[in-house]
């Protein structure tokens, strides 16, 4: 059963949450034009004061970097995330429960959309480092480390700019007994045999978005013995919008411990060209490839 914990969607940086503000529109609200959204965000960014805990000098540096990216590229996509780094880490407990963490590259405050408010979280964790290797996957540092290199620095502005406007208002859960139904690309369709089991909204997440990666769970009443499961972010909370990057896949037949055999999804190439990864607890063995 899903635990429902209200997740406050607050505008960390901007003074108001009108058009172009820090929170994505709800399912009953019209979606703004991408160019109008970009223009409004740039205007608010220019006026945004340094958030608590971030020095004015660093804030100016972060603002200038993002403003330059948005002004030069002008690429804004008001749709679900489709980058490889937006793939959720799906786990299956061997019984009936699926679980995964929030995944939308560049959405550092986990408010459902990549926008200027994500600079505040970046500034607050600026300079954090592991000294080598990635941050723990469920830590807030892992969320804010947009390029996944174990250091939170100016380079992490780039994932915000590259994914600006992308939304993950919730996740759809899918099931199939045929591996061929796994999407062949991050923005590609599911196969004809894929079954939609349900949608999990951001409001159903567990955890504190300011201190950790938000967590989701979904109960599968009667998992098929040879089934595969995967989740995809959706830009509508009710799951009716555009879907994005598929998670790794998990299923009953592939489980020895929670995590099971997971099929990493990629933006290129068919599934048959991908190696299988066997994850048992924290160990990983590469099969094939």
What one-character-per-residue DSSP string does 186-207 give?
TTSPPPTT-EEEEEEEGGG-BS
Residue 196: give the domain boundaries: 84-106+167-287
Does the pLDDT of residue 11 top 60, yes or no? Answer: no
Does the pLDDT of residue 30 top 70, yes or no? Answer: no
Count of C-beta atoms within a 10 Å radius of residue 48: 20
Which letter does DSSP use for residue 273 in this model? G
pLDDT the model gives residue 73: 64
Q: What pTM, to 2 d.p., does this model score? A: 0.79
Model confidence over 74-116: pLDDT tens digits? Answer: 679 999 999 999 999 999 998 899 999 999 999 999 999 999 9
pLDDT the model gives residue 31: 52
Q: Is residue 205 domain-resident?
A: yes
Contact (Cβ atoms closer than 8 angstroms) between residue 287 and residue 278: yes
- The two beta strands, 261-262 and 276-280, are antiparallel
Does the pLDDT of residue 273 top 90, yes or no? Answer: no
Q: How far apart are CA 37 and CA 82, in angstroms?
A: 19
Lookup: tokens for 264: 């990493």
- For residues 224 and 273, which has the higher predicted lDDT (pLDDT)? 224
The sign one gets for the Cα dihedral 253, 258, 264, 265 is: positive
pLDDT the model gives residue 32: 60
Count of C-beta atoms within a 10 Å radius of residue 42: 15
Q: Look at residue 276 and give its three-state secondary structure.
A: strand
Does the pLDDT of residue 2 top 80, yes or no? Answer: no
Q: What is the mean pLDDT of the chain?
A: 82
Q: Is residue 237 domain-resident?
A: yes
Q: Is residue 12 domain-resident?
A: no
Q: Nearest CA to 103 among 20, 205, 174?
A: 205
Q: What is the CATH number of the domain that holds 93?
A: 2.60.40
Q: Is residue 279 domain-resident?
A: yes
Q: How far apart are CA 215 and CA 251, in angstroms?
A: 19
Does the pLDDT of residue 159 top 60, yes or no? Answer: yes
Does the pLDDT of residue 4 top 60, yes or no? Answer: no
CA separation (Å) from 183 to 157, 217, 255, 263, 266?
29, 21, 21, 11, 9
Does the pLDDT of residue 266 top 60, yes or no? Answer: no
Which uninterrupted H or E stretch holds 277? strand 276-280
Model confidence over 171-197: pLDDT tens digits? Answer: 999 999 999 999 999 999 999 999 999
Q: Is residue 14 domain-resident?
A: no
Q: Is residue 38 domain-resident?
A: no
Model confidence over 192-238: pLDDT tens digits? Answer: 999 999 999 999 999 999 999 999 999 998 888 889 999 999 999 99
Structural domains of the chain, count: 1
pLDDT the model gives residue 284: 29
pLDDT the model gives residue 267: 36
pLDDT the model gives residue 281: 33
Q: Nearest CA to 124 among 13, 43, 40?
A: 13
Q: How far apart are CA 52 and CA 40, in angstroms?
A: 23
């Amino acid at each position: 059963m899903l635990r429902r914990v209200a997740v406050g969607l607050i505008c960390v940086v901007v003074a108001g949450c009108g058009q172009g503000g820090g929170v994505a529109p709800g399912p009953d609200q019209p979606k703004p034009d991408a160019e109008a959204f970009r223009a409004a965000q740039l205007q608010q960014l220019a006026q945004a004061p340094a958030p608590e805990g971030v020095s004015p000098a660093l804030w100016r540096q972060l603002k200038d970097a993002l403003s330059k990216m948005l002004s030069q590229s002008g690429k804004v996509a008001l749709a679900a995330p489709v980058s490889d780094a937006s793939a959720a880490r799906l786990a299956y407990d061997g019984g009936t429960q699926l679980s995964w963490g929030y995944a939308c590259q560049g959405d550092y405050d986990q408010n459902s959309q990549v926008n200027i408010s994500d600079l505040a979280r970046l500034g607050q964790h600026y300079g954090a480092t592991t000294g080598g290797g990635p941050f723990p996957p469920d830590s807030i540092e892992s969320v804010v480390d947009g390029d996944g290199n174990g250091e939170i620095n100016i380079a992490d502005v780039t994932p915000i700019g590259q994914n600006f406007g992308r939304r993950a208002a919730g996740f759809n859960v899918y099931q199939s007994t045929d591996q061929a139904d796994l999407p062949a690309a991050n923005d590609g369709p599911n196969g004809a045999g894929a079954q939609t089991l349900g949608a999990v909204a951001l409001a159903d997440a567990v955890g504190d978005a300011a201190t950790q990666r938000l967590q989701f769970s979904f109960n599968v009443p009667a998992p098929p013995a040879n089934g595969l499961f995967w989740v995809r972010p959706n830009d509508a909370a009710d799951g009716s919008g555009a879907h994005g990057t598929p998670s790794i896949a998990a299923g009953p037949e592939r489980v020895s411990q929670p995590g099971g055999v997971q099929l990493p999804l990629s933006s290129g190439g068919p599934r048959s060209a991908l190696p299988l990864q066997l994850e048992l607890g924290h160990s990983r063995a590469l099969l094939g490839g």
